[in-house]
Amino acid sequence: MIQVDGRYMGHVGLFRFHFDQRRCEIDNIVRGEDGFPGIMEEAIRKMMEWGKAELGLQGYELQTFSDNQKSLRLYRRLGFAEVRRVPLQRLEKEDRIEWVEISGDGTPSVARFNVYMELSGEKG
């Protein structure tokens, strides 16, 4: 958890380790707050540096929704590049909404995608 002046700004974490490839996924994070520009970017950068130094990680990946422009901008600043995009279908189940990946063949217009990204180059 990232906390400033007693307020939670969001969280960062490592998720889905692929030790054979020395890679892992960055857990979704971003909430952030006005008045603290760059706090999430710095937290993610420090976490990736720690993972590289302490765990021997050599690569990072993540996923986010295509309509989350704030996260997409943040991840691009950190050096992530999109590697694939998978269409999602909205399913309403009792008291919740789920977004489920669907095959892209013959599907009607889709409003939301899962965007898969990987760290490009030597950033992080």
Render pLDDT for 27-77 as a digit per residue (tens, 0 to 9).
Answer: 866 565 666 777 888 889 999 999 999 999 999 999 999 999 988 999 999
Is residue 16 within 8 Å of residue 26, measured between CB atoms?
no
What the chain holds in terms of domains, given with CATH numbers, is 2-119 (3.40.630.30)
Q: Tens of pLDDT along 67-97?
A: 999 889 999 999 999 999 999 988 898 899 9
Distance CA 101, CA 7 (A): 34
Q: What's the whole-number average pLDDT of the chain? A: 85
Strands 23-26 and 59-65: parallel
Query: According to the model, what pLDDT value does residue 114 have?
Result: 94
Global pTM reads 0.82
Ramachandran angles phi, psi of 31, nearest 5°: -120, -60
Strands 2-4 and 7-10: antiparallel
